[in-house]
Amino acid sequence: MSIDKSLKRKGSLVRARSVLTRAERILVLRGDDKFPEGRSPYGLPKVRVVKIGKKPKKAAKTEEADDKKKK
């Protein structure tokens, strides 16, 4: 009997999460200077989650070829 996909690896979340934890939201707000010292961690404003896109396979191959040509 095989193991279900969701049970194989707990620490490998491949896709991007759409929700940040409170601590992650505070770090993003501090980076934007929107979270002053002494502010309550409750009732935080919304924070946009930036999704990182993957490079197309063709572009990655052409970059590798360009690097080899330079050497």
Locate the domains of the chain by residue range.
16-70
pLDDT of residue 19: 85
pLDDT of residue 55: 64
pLDDT of residue 1: 72
pLDDT of residue 27: 92
For the chain, residues with pLDDT lower than 70 are 8-16, 53-71
45-63 residue pLDDT tens: 989 887 776 666 666 666 6
SS (H, E, C) the chain: CCCCHHHHCCCCCCCCCCCCCHHHHHHHHHHCCCCCCCCCCCCCCCCCCCCCCCCCHHHHHHHHHHHHHHC
